[in-house]
């Protein structure tokens, strides 16, 4: 008999492995934060676990991956809606950030987002903001994975970016013993960073094995300004600067043309579409069908709460699947299983984490969700993928495990106090309203 930390027994394991196996009447063996095996229930006596967790009547899926977020923006939820992106940023978000962004604010707001993400089944988020240490600390406390970055906003900067890299190296050193945390290099966008900076960030990313995380082609204005200034479309412009030498994660990609998408074919770079945020800011709809036809690596991102206005990535998935069927007049586009892949194994690939995350397979990290099906919304159940994409809500996510530890059990956060988070958010609301009146 072999010893292990945890056994999850019963339920249907939606593995998202290369054969997309769904294993019923099975149990999962977890040890030291990783999946050891998924075996038929009649072999359960081979293992002695410290804890056994019952998942009968549930779906067990990989944890969801959020490919683009701004965690500390949670306290700006609903603060300024119904505005175009550039007005919203310049008149509201940036001035407020300049006034409010203390280390405590960043930490508390990130903690709020981490709790909300866990309740929505997100086990890893790829974040872009400032004061990355505070965001990393909040995620460590909540028990979720994060890729942090220090957004580089430097339109007139003509340096070589090395001081940013030095800071990232110091960060990696300081968080060496924190397996939940990683970092990326993040020039904010082509309208806030110089050509030199992009070139040098790409070289640094390639040299140090960092993902280059940037916004790209979000609005028509960005596209038109880029054509006027550089005579090229945004991705053509970045490609001419050598940016595609690095592995990149481009957030949004709403206005990418077929020719630009062609540049990504065979590259290691990927796109995070942000459907809800793009719809709400009326930025447009990303050409997802063309992206997938070209076999590009695509994931979903919530973007920040200030433009979403929540971190419910299942809602994001459902909207994305239905919207793209409608605009393509093609109900067969993006079948439920392919849609669910965007949130799991596809998400892991976009961030270069597919060796460890995105599917339930022996050797991978034990990041998973146990989804309760014993409720009206979940029954009857003919096709699990259909249920996951079109029917289920986040409320059905009963338990969440990250690296072998339960961070949510029966909808209760293991490491955070939900009531305390709510009252802290209300205190910040008062402070922000005071700032807005001044």
Tell me which residues touch Zn ion (CB under 5 A). Answer: 303
Q: Nearest approach, Cβ of 193 to Zn ion (angstroms)?
A: 14
Q: Nearest approach, Cβ of 218 to Zn ion (angstroms)?
A: 8
**DSSP character string of 96-121:** HHHHH--HHHHHHHHHHHHHHHHHTT
Give the Å distances, CA to CA, from 239 to 74, 96, 251.
33, 34, 16
Q: Nearest approach, Cβ of 186 to Zn ion (angstroms)?
A: 10
Nearer to Zn ion, 112 or 398 (CB): 112
On whether the CB atoms of residues 23 and 15 are closer than 8 A, the answer is: yes
What does R_g of the chain's alpha carbons equal in angstroms? 21
Nearer to Zn ion, 303 or 399 (CB): 303
Nearer to Zn ion, 8 or 216 (CB): 216
Question: Closest by alpha carbon to 341, among 8, 13, 14, 119?
Answer: 14
SS3 content of the chain, % helix, strand, coil (to 5): 45, 25, 35
d(C-alpha 98, C-alpha 3), whole Å: 53
**DSSP character string of 252-292:** E-TT--HHHHHHHTTSS-EEEE-HHHHHHTT-----HHHHH
Q: Nearest approach, Cβ of 304 to Zn ion (angstroms)?
A: 6
On whether the CB atoms of residues 248 and 186 are closer than 8 A, the answer is: no
d(C-alpha 12, C-alpha 58), whole Å: 6
Q: Nearest approach, Cβ of 197 to Zn ion (angstroms)?
A: 18
Q: Nearest approach, Cβ of 391 to Zn ion (angstroms)?
A: 29
Nearer to Zn ion, 49 or 128 (CB): 128
Nearer to Zn ion, 116 or 303 (CB): 303
Q: Nearest approach, Cβ of 301 to Zn ion (angstroms)?
A: 7
Give the CA-trace dihedral at 325, 250, 214, 237, to 10 degrees: -120
Strand ranges in 309-379 using DSSP code E only, listed in sequence order: 368-372
Q: Nearest approach, Cβ of 178 to Zn ion (angstroms)?
A: 24
Nearer to Zn ion, 73 or 368 (CB): 73
Nearer to Zn ion, 202 or 254 (CB): 254
Nearer to Zn ion, 59 or 286 (CB): 286
Give the CB-nearest residue to Zn ion: 303
Question: Closest by alpha carbon to 252, among 223, 231, 229, 228?
Answer: 223
């Amino acid at each position: 008999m072999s010893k292990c930390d945890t056994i999850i027994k019963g339920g249907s394991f939606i593995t998202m492995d290369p054969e997309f196996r769904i294993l019923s009447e099975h149990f999962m063996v977890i040890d030291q934060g990783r999946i050891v095996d998924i075996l038929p229930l009649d072999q359960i006596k081979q293992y002695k676990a410290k804890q056994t967790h019952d998942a009968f009547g549930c779906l067990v899926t990989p944890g969801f991956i959020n490919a683009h977020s701004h965690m500390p923006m949670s306290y700006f939820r609903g603060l300024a809606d119904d505005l175009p992106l550039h007005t919203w940023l310049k008149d509201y978000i940036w001035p407020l950030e300049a006034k409010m962004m203390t280390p405590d604010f960043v930490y508390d707001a990130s903690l709020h987002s981490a709790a909300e993400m866990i309740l929505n089944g997100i086990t890893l988020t790829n974040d872009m903001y400032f004061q990355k240490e505070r965001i990393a600390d909040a995620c460590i406390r909540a028990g979720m994975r994060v890729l942090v970055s220090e957004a580089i906003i430097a339109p007139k900067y003509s340096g070589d970016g090395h001081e940013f890299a030095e800071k990232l190296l110091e960060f990696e050193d300081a968080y060496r013993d924190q397996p939940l945390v990683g970092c990326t290099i993040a020039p904010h966008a082509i309208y806030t960073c110089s050509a030199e900076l992009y070139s040098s960030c790409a070289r640094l990313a390639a040299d140090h094995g960092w993902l280059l995380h940037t916004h790209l082609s979000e609005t028509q204005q960005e596209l038109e300004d880029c054509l006027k200034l550089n005579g090229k479309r945004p991705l053509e412009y970045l490609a001419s600067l050598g940016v595609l030498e690095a592995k990149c994660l481009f957030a949004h990609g709403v206005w990418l043309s077929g020719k630009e998408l062609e540049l990504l074919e065979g590259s290691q770079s990927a796109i995070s579409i942000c459907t809800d945020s793009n719809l709400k800011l009326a930025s447009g709809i990303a050409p997802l069908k063309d992206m997938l036809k070209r076999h590009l690596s695509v994931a979903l991102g919530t973007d920040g709460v200030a433009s979403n206005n929540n971190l419910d990535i299942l809602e994001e998935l459902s909207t994305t699947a239905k919207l793209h069927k409608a605009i393509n007049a093609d109900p067969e586009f993006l079948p439920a299983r392919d849609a669910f892949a965007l949130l799991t194994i596809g998400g892991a690939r976009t961030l270069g984490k597919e060796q460890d995350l995105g599917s339930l397979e022996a050797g991978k990290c034990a990041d998973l969700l146990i989804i309760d099906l014993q409720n009206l919304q979940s029954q009857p159940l003919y096709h699990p993928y259909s249920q996951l994409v079109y029917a289920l809500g986040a409320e059905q996510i009963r338990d969440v495990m990250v690296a072998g530890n339960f961070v949510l059990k029966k909808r209760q956060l293991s490491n955070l106090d939900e009531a305390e988070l709510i009252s802290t958010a209300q205190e910040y609301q008062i402070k922000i309203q005071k700032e807005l009146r001044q």
